[in-house]
A and B are shown apart, each in its own frame.
Chain A
């Protein structure tokens, strides 16, 4: 299938007083039309910075895209001017943020906030745009959209605000929706509503979704493919089945083992990943997971492993994949 987005060896750094923080260090992945790709990892692993770089939303300075290419429908958007970016931002690719409380403008009725994008990108009349926006609100499941259009964000609950955010993002029918922890700030029952909504809208509109999350449950529910990130690097990517049933990187094993599951007996012991992620001011030369990895070998500290491809869709960055490495099996308890 055709790639909608290709990210090649992306490096993003922040210049701080303490030095250069290398938040994203050579990330590559692709997103095909209409599929859902989840990017998972812990806080500080660079998943949000990656997402914001795709939209060119990171402010320069302090941050900058050091190298790499982001091909969106074949065009490298890292070379786009701000004006060119504005053409596609919102209309071709749109974003839903984590915190629905702070990402809407509190001084503007929500209707006006949806209409803004429509008028800018589609050159339609205010009346037409208003109708269009009302339909979009209806589509995301907000009851009595006509009157809701005139209300302010504080009159909406958290879940409703996230629906408004999704309405704004989808109003111009983008090809790609980037959702950065869209349900993290919400309660479980509301999270279930938003996930259902995103699944349904994707089926209807055929939008590709990049979902950024740390919740593997949400990933299992909605993703087609998964990108696992650690300390600014991709450590493993594959289809959702490969990542959950045939994971090959010790960090992915650690993630799967450290989470309790609702459908399991509680006698199963949680196996946490010991230690904490490295500082990205002085990233280690080798694999960043070494200090927390119980299978670490001498080579792991010295050099980053090459990419291994167990299957066509599965990519792993681990020295254990080397033909001369000892065989280690993952046991999912």
Chain B
């Protein structure tokens, strides 16, 4: 399996800084590298403000990277021009968090879904309507919905419309930025099952950004954990959840309540102290050191190296540093 896996996306030393003026800079994403393989679901988790959405938006070029490279199918996305740029825009699509804000209220659902088709000139005339209806059926809506407006739909249905819009241009890669966090529990499962089915049928690759760790574990093949602009750990999802290495991952997993009272009553939780520091002035060395229960002297001095400590298991933590020269 290892050798067959083809990289669809490579992120190399990506940095995205936002300049606030007065010499203040938010290092929203600071030196992040990871790969996504074709056909997999890559989960990105972390607390609010850790930079996970910024990564998604930078990959699809809604933001331009401060430095670093993003290779999509082997090509640097920031250098794409003309026809290639258009191809890229078609092959990569995004599903947004807020199903209420991400659909134009003045367009009919049919036009929303067909917008990509029109822009890329994929179908026209009678075929356009046919394609739209087909797409709506794929996501569990029907023909009559095409002539309605977004306000007539519930949150779960709107998210389905967002998915249909993304699918319209036959993408290879979809970035789903918290696609289910605005939905109710019973509706979340509907949308997740739909996304999984579409992935099987169309061979899609997903970057699934979320803060709900149980859902990310459920949907993802591999998971990256972010803290304050950096990746702290990356592994296959079963392994990450069974054997977290980074103290932050451990604390994050232990903080998630499990819907089972007997387990909950016995469980010892790691409760982190304090809050996430400001990304304007992050701590020196390891950024997690101010809240880390296993903090050492070296943590404030050096930034831990991002390294593969086990096959396919990456971590940035001094507890696992083997290559330290000191």
Query: Hey, which bits of chain A sit against chain B, CB under 8 A?
Result: 42-43, 157, 159-160, 187-193, 195-196, 214-221, 223, 240-241, 244, 254-256, 258-263, 265-266, 269-274, 276
- In-complex Cβ contact of A262 among B48, B157, B214 (8 A): B214
Complex formed: what's the CA distance from A272 to B196 in Å?
Answer: 13
Q: Is B101 an interface residue (CB 8 A)?
A: no
A-B contact pairs, 18 of them (CB 8 A): A159-B275, A188-B252, A189-B255, A191-B255, A214-B184, A217-B214, A220-B263, A221-B261, A244-B259, A258-B186, A258-B188, A262-B253, A263-B263, A265-B238, A266-B237, A270-B189, A272-B189, A272-B193
Known: A189-B47, A276-B154. A241 touches B261 (CB 8 A): yes
> Using Cβ atoms and an 8 Å threshold, which residues of chain B touch A196?
269, 271
Chain A: minimal CB distance from B141 (Å):
13
- Residues facing A in B201-221 (CB within 8 A) are 211, 213-215, 217-218
Complex formed: what's the CA distance from A219 to B260 in Å?
Answer: 9
Count of A-B contacts judged by CB separation below 8 Å: 127
> Using Cβ atoms and an 8 Å threshold, which residues of chain A touch B48?
187
CB distance A220 to B193 under 8 Å?
no
Smallest CB gap from A214: residue in B: B185
CB distance B187 to A270 under 8 Å?
no
Smallest CB gap from B221: residue in A: A266
Q: Is B258 an interface residue (CB 8 A)?
A: yes
> Using Cβ atoms and an 8 Å threshold, which residues of chain B touch A262?
213-214, 217, 241, 253, 256, 258
Complex formed: what's the CA distance from A273 to B264 in Å?
Answer: 25
Q: Is B319 an interface residue (CB 8 A)?
A: no
Query: Hey, which bits of chain B sit against chain A, CB under 8 A?
Result: 47-48, 154, 156-157, 184-190, 192-193, 211, 213-215, 217-218, 237-238, 241, 251-264, 269, 271-273, 275-276
CB distance B255 to A188 under 8 Å?
yes
Known: A221-B264, A255-B186, A270-B192. A189 touches B252 (CB 8 A): yes
- In-complex Cβ contact of B217 among A244, A256, A260, A276 (8 A): A260
CB distance A221 to B272 under 8 Å?
no
Smallest CB gap from B155: residue in A: A43
> Using Cβ atoms and an 8 Å threshold, which residues of chain A touch B157?
276
Known: A255-B186, A258-B189, A266-B238. A220 touches B47 (CB 8 A): no
> Using Cβ atoms and an 8 Å threshold, which residues of chain B touch A244?
259-261
CB distance B257 to A195 under 8 Å?
yes
Chain A: minimal CB distance from B261 (Å):
4
Complex formed: what's the CA distance from A240 to B258 in Å?
Answer: 13
Smallest CB gap from B291: residue in A: A189
- In-complex Cβ contact of A272 among B187, B253, B264, B271 (8 A): B187
Complex formed: what's the CA distance from A187 to B226 in Å?
Answer: 13
